[in-house]
Amino acid sequence: MSDGGKVESKRDEGNPVVRGDAEDFGRAMSRIAVAQLCKRIGFASLNESALDSLTDIAIRYLRNLGKIASCYTNLAGRTVSNAFDIIRGLEDLQYVNRLFGCFGAS
């Protein structure tokens, strides 16, 4: 402290810390998840542009699902969503039939 903060300023000049925002982190995690899903279903490789496009699609899908589930939560007079709100959101997005079709129920 007796140096008037010169040590801190020297450290900041040498290595500036670049911090991303929460959206960058979320996009990076979504990108990893999409890449893992592609690998899991059998893709040996993936172009960067294709991965970016699939990541954008996944992010939009999850945002829409969250918005729909939030609407059902609000309609029910609750403040916290539950599994039923998400299932209704999936029904609105017309994917629940495919999901339950895998288990033999219709």
Q: What is the pLDDT of residues 71-101, one digit of tens each?
A: 999 999 999 999 999 999 988 888 655 665 5
Q: Which residues of the chain have pLDDT under 70?
A: 1-20, 95-106
Distance separating alpha carbons of residues 1 and 3, to the nearest angstrom: 5
Distance separating alpha carbons of residues 100 and 102, to the nearest angstrom: 5
Amino acid code (one letter) for 58: A
| In the chain, domain spans | 21-101
Is the pTM higher than 0.85? no
Contact assessment for residue 72 and residue 91, using Cβ atoms and an 8 Å cutoff: no
Q: Within 10 Å of residue 91's Cβ, how many Cβ atoms? A: 13
Q: How many CA atoms lie within 13 A of 49 on its CB side?
A: 0
| pLDDT reported for residue 93 | 85
The CATH number of domain 21-101 is 3.40.50.720: no
